[in-house]
Amino acid sequence: MGPASESEIKAARSTLESNFNDAKAHRNYIYVMGLNNPLLIAQYRIWMKKYPQNVNFPLAIGTFYHNAEMPQAKEFLLKAAELEPQNADIWSMLANDAGRWGQDDLSTAYLRKAMLADTANATYAASYLFALKNGDPDYRQKVFDFVKRFPASEQGAQALYWLADRDTSLNDRIQDYEQLRQTYPPQKFRWSSSGMIGLADAYLQTNPEKALTLSNEMGEEKEWQIRKQLAESLIQINQLEQSQSYKEAASKADQIKLPSFNYLNDFVALKKADLLAKAGDVKAAYDSLATKYAKLPTYPLYTALTGYAQSLGKNKKQMLKDVETIRHHTAVSAYPFELDLYTSKGKLNLHDLKGKVVLLTFWFPGCSPCRAEFPHFQSVINKFKGKDVVYVGINVDPEQDPYVLPLLKNSNYSFIPLRGSSEFARKNYGVQGEPENFLIDQDGKIIFKDFRIDNSNHRTLELMISSLLQKG
């Protein structure tokens, strides 16, 4: 749709001026004016000065800018909150905006105000609870308290789901998912239904009989049918292993089909390698894990691979050389970008970083998953201070440029911010959604991609970076 005509703007304004309390009229006027039209803000400031006690002016334009994830929202939402401090939705929007500026503490404070403004609302209470998950030592208990307070809410199911999802222990994960299952029946609660995938995958690794029972209960959808078949296969494999029919068990493991999305990590690969080794084919076990480790290294894979290497008479150097050879065959050259810096008027070219390992992430300030991943990246990058490692973040949404430098300053992130676009990311790096991450070696080749880092797998990124530094 092209720009609105003068007559359309005049008509929208006339409708609004006939009733400044009409929220729909505000939305229509703002829409036809356009958020990037400097006359829009100028006009609203005139109205706000003329009608200083009317919250509808700052609330309407602030909400519009907030929903568009644009930094102009802050000024107007703060004014709206001043006029209507018991409006929980205003505080919630301010919390979202503060997060885009990297003001996490302020965001949490705003969420608390939203919760206190509407104490019976589970959504506001949940938002405040989730803001505490990374820094509150009593967070786990707070989740259980929340569940007792809102036993019939979807947000209670969400809180238990996220608690289980963050568990690094399989036993803890099973315990939390089982409470989710019992408190919030998956037939009634969406978050509980999603959580059953995590529970099934935990049982696949510890008790495939229980995984089979759960899969049968959950229905006939494709992902559950695959898990049912997987559980049946693992039960047979375990039986074959107990009877020492290792070769047959390994052959059965080789036929396993994994769900498109799963929480099984390295379990099946390690199981198959173990069976191959027990069947006497240590080289096949080694080769299978070397291929998987080359794509995405983890500590369990490293430990098992090292053991098989020793059995074959290979030392650590030889093992890493084998892995490097595999990576060399799949590596592709990274697009040699040259993009504007936010920190100066200059540009940064990928060629300028030759000889260094580059952690590259595509993001934008309004991307909550991006901001959630940054602390984990930073934690790992801090371990490589003084090494030839560069951390680069390409913002794909130039309209959110004003957020970029404040976010870095407020959060103490060390990545080099570059100005990109969604078109650039999609065309040159195949990015389909943010965040999307790449690790580029000293020669400008993409060695690792399609990885995400959270509280459970810092070691994976450490191994990835270390392997490239050793190569250099």
DSSP state string for 162-226: HHHHH--SHHHHHHHHHHHHHHS-TTT-HHHHHHHHHHHHHHHHH-HHHHHHHHHHH-S-HHHHH
- The tokens of 315 are what? 């030392």
CA dist 425 → 215, 309, 417, 420, 434 (Å): 39, 39, 14, 7, 10
**pLDDT for res 2:** 53
Q: What is the pLDDT of residues 409-443, one digit of tens each?
A: 999 999 999 999 999 999 999 999 999 999 999 99
> Of 94, 119, 144, which residue constitutes the final position of a domain?
144
CB neighbours (10 Å) of residue 266? 17
> Of 144, 168, 193, which residue constitutes the final position of a domain?
144
**pLDDT for res 472:** 55
- The tokens of 180 are what? 């989710």
**pLDDT for res 84:** 98
CA pair distance 109, 117, nearest whole angstrom: 12
- The tokens of 79 are what? 């004014």
Residue 293 near residue 305, CB atoms below 8 Å: yes
What is the number of structural domains in the chain? 3
CA pair distance 22, 30, nearest whole angstrom: 13
Residue 355: CATH number of its domain: 3.40.30.10
**pLDDT for res 214:** 97
Tell me, yes or no, whether 218 and 313 share the same domain: yes
Does a structural domain hold residue 440? yes
Secondary structure class of 437 (helix, strand, coil) = strand
- Domain boundaries, position 326: 148-332
Strands 436-440 and 357-363: antiparallel
Does the pTM surpass 0.75? The reply is yes
> Of 121, 144, 167, which residue constitutes the final position of a domain?
144
The amino acid at residue 221 is: E
**pLDDT for res 1:** 46
Return averaged pLDDT per consecutive 10 residues of the chain, 472 residues in all.
Answer: 81 96 96 94 97 97 96 97 98 97 97 97 97 93 96 96 94 97 96 97 98 95 95 98 97 93 94 98 98 95 97 96 94 96 95 97 96 96 96 96 96 96 97 97 95 92 94 64
Tell me, yes or no, whether 182 and 308 share the same domain: yes
Secondary structure class of 356 (helix, strand, coil) = coil
The amino acid at residue 94 is: L
Residue 99: CATH number of its domain: 1.25.40.10
Dihedral angle of Cα 354, 358, 362, 364, to the nearest 10 degrees:
-100
